[in-house]
A and B are shown apart, each in its own frame.
Chain A
Amino acid sequence: MTSLYLAALPQWLQDFLATELPWKILGAVVILIGGIIAVAILSRASLAIFGERLGAQGTMVVKKLIRYIGYAFAFILALNHMGLNLGAVLGAAGVAGIAVGFAAQTSLSNIISGFFMIGERPFELGDIIEVDGIAGKVDTIGLLALTLRTFDNRSVRIPNETLVKTKLINVTRHPIRRFNLDIGVAYDENIGHVLKVMHEVAETNLQCLNEPDPLIIFTGFGDSSLNFLLGAWCVQEDYGTLRNTLPRELKERFDKENIEIPFPHMTLAAGKALGPIPVDVISEPADRPG
């Protein structure tokens, strides 16, 4: 029956099917498909076991790692099944690997830095971090780099190596945060009264936490003002609102209490003496027409 079907095929196809090659190709395809399924199972199983410990960042990297290694392994097996001399291929790959290694030093450095980051876990997906003066929300974490979404909705890719080398600030690591507001008042003002007013403003502000106590201190004598620091604690979600409301409420209250926020003062003096600035009249002013 089968030979009847085969007889209906073109001669070239009959010759091709008579060889071992189609079965080898079929076997290789089965190995590749089996490999893909095995990688998917392995990836899920390892994530289920280690996912919680590794965090979102580690999970993502491990997932990619398992996928790449698994696919490479399945591909090599498939080639082996096809009868390719793997010794020669791996030998050539070794030589090529050295060449590629030199060329891909930066990439390897990024990958290794990525592993350090997984171990250390200085941030998670969704955290707001500041790297090299760029602040944003961690959008994706990759083998080579992470992507930050800045507050003006730009996407910034930062290589993992930079994260290891540079100072990194995680803004949202802790649930509460302090907003520092520097403010100066005129030298005429009573320091005790200003401190009391600042305390009352912090106390009545809805975002400012009552505990931990707000930090309110007199920081010193400035060029034109008595300087104060108001450090108000708030929960992370309220930080933006607090930044808006606290300075406004403080200004309004200062206005109400007639507490002056001075402009910088500059006294111009000529020479040693603080006398009037000498003015020389060069010529008589001309009579105005009309």
Chain B
Amino acid sequence: MITSWDERTLANGRWFHSNLGPLSITLLRRYDEWRVSTSCAKEHGIHGDEGKSEDLPDTLEWQRWDCHDDDSRICLTPALPNLPVIAKPNTSLSIAPGGNALFYIGIPMDLEIHGECGGNLRKLISIPSETLSKTWHGDRSAGEVCYSLKTRARRNFDPSEWLDHDIIISVDLHNESQDTFEFERLFLDLGHFSIFSHEKRLWTNACRIRITENDEEGNDITYDSTPISPADSGKEVSPAREGKTSRSTLRRAFASVIDVIH
């Protein structure tokens, strides 16, 4: 498990290893190259977190990037998946008119590896900790591909219930319509979420969705600048991919929720 997202150094001939959920990642600095190997966490056959290149098993398959002789800095950063996510709770929940419900949704993180190349950190690779299946958001003629996420959509936060490689998103749904809202699926565009680290867990800034009957008026997804409590004092480790925003102008994000009502 990766516990620190700070920059670190890796001298020539040394390796660093960590597990990321079901995935095992090994980083090696050798022969003016950065090398990255990924394998199933149960099968890697590596002992320890760091060591000399001679200690690594020969069976590892590497991806390689050229670097300079004196480059040694690396930085690992967590990232959200590169496609929007459709989160489906295992069982739907009805939210009465005027009611609200807070959900915690865990999204398997991607790991971005940045290595020093000619003095500057350069993104080498982005590795998903879990390969999510895909789904389609839209009709059969137009729409966009998303990742599909079956979630328990927990109502409270219990640290023991979450996987190490989960990024926790809190979604606060406010039903301001006159009808009962059936929460069956939620389209989440992940571009405006930053990632924060708090007590070895990763969180995004909290978001609130207001459900109204009027589609035009109801286009309202609000992003907080920090995660929800108890992680509100978390340290930002990865900025939002599409920049920070306090309120989304993406109609589709809300429309997808509205679709469920009607």
Contacts and interface: CB of A to CB of B under 8 A. Distances in A.
Contact of A204 (B133, B135, B140, B141): B133
Given A174-B141, A175-B143, A208 B148 contact: no
Given A175-B142, A211-B148, A206 B134 contact: yes
Interface in A211-226: 211-212
B136 interface: yes
A190 B134 CA distance: 30
A211 B135 contact: yes
A141 to B, nearest CB: 23
B142 A206 contact: no
Contacts of B136: 176, 209, 211-212, 233, 235
A203 B135 CA distance: 10
Nearest to A178: B140
B145 interface: yes
B262 to A, nearest CB: 17
B120 interface: no
A207 B148 CA distance: 11
Contacts of B86: 211
A38 B23 CA distance: 64
Given A210-B133, A210-B135, A211-B135, A235 B145 contact: yes
**Looking at A207, A209, A210, which has the most chain B CB atoms within 10 Å of its CB?**
A210
A43 interface: no
A233 B133 CA distance: 12
B184 to A, nearest CB: 11
Contacts of A206: 131, 133-134
A182 B243 CA distance: 47
A209 B136 CA distance: 7
Interface of A: 174-176, 203-212, 233-235, 238
